[in-house]
Structure 1
């Protein structure tokens, strides 16, 4: 079971990342661009999930920037127990994550890929090279 502290540690270990509190929730940014954030559900979110027959999360929810809506759809289709969305995110490349159901390795991969999407290209390339990897 992952926690917001796990997300914090993963995000802040990446270059040029900081944490900001906005609307009472933690947001992690790279060069002032958000890539992962704490996302408590709103009443409208809960109503939409209930109407769609999607179980409500019992723990913390993380919003994560993804490459595009195709990636978002694939994550949700592959593991709907972990990934979901609400109408609030229609047309936006982000997915919601039930932290209590995601494994440590999968969370690390998700956070790193979100960071790569938003980091300046030279910063991401340098970090990947340090990791011994070519691309995300």
Structure 2
């Protein structure tokens, strides 16, 4: 029989800082890797995460729940939608996103945390800080 695993959201296994305007905390909970994103007003994936990801759009699959604030998603195919508190969404790869309004957007991601906002390692790049 397996053992229960209990963690505090504020005690992440790893913290990945965006270029600015937020951060993503990663929690390893058994076989599940959860992410908690904190997106400050003015945050946009294409400005604050794209330089870390090195892709034209976000290529991570997200299954997330918005806890507070609002986020606008624009898919590569042109589809657009807003998410707000209590919304649960599946977002396939190929999108941009940005915070709507002046409130911090907080979200829990159940599928995209493993690779989200992970800095690519090049000659002039350093790894993201880890809380391990």
TM-score, normalization by structure 2: 0.27
TM-score, normalization by structure 1: 0.27
Richer in helix (by share):
1
Richer in strand (by share):
2
